[in-house]
Amino acid sequence: MLRPAYPGESSQNALPSFQKASIRTVPNSLDTSTVSLLRGKSQPQTDLPDKDHLVPVNARYSPNPDSSLSDPPVWSDTSPKPDLIMEPTEESATFPLTGDVGENILQLLTKGQSVAQISALLQISKTLVKRWQRRLTTSDFMKMDGRRLYDDAFKQDAIRQLNQGVSVRKLSLQLGVSQVTLHKWKNKELMDRESHLYQFMHDPLPDAQDGSRAASNTGETGSPTTDNLSQQLQELREERDILKKALVILLRSS
pTM over 0.75, yes/no: no
How far apart are the C-alpha atoms of 78 and 56, rounded to whole Å? 13
Q: What is the pLDDT of residue 254?
A: 61
109 closest CA partner among 91, 133, 89, 141: 133
Q: What angle do CA 128, 132, 136 make, to 5 degrees?
A: 165
CA angle 182–183–188, rounded 5-degree value: 100
- Residue 237: predicted pLDDT: 84
Average pLDDT for consecutive 10-residue bins of the chain (254 residues)? 55 51 49 54 51 47 48 46 38 45 78 84 86 67 52 84 87 82 85 74 57 52 71 84 79 69
Structure confidence by residue, pLDDT tens digits, 188-199: 888 877 777 767
Residues 92-102 have pLDDT tens digits of: 333 444 457 77
How many CB atoms within 10 Å of residue 120?
A: 14
Spatial contact of 183 and 168, defined as CB atoms under 8 Å apart: yes
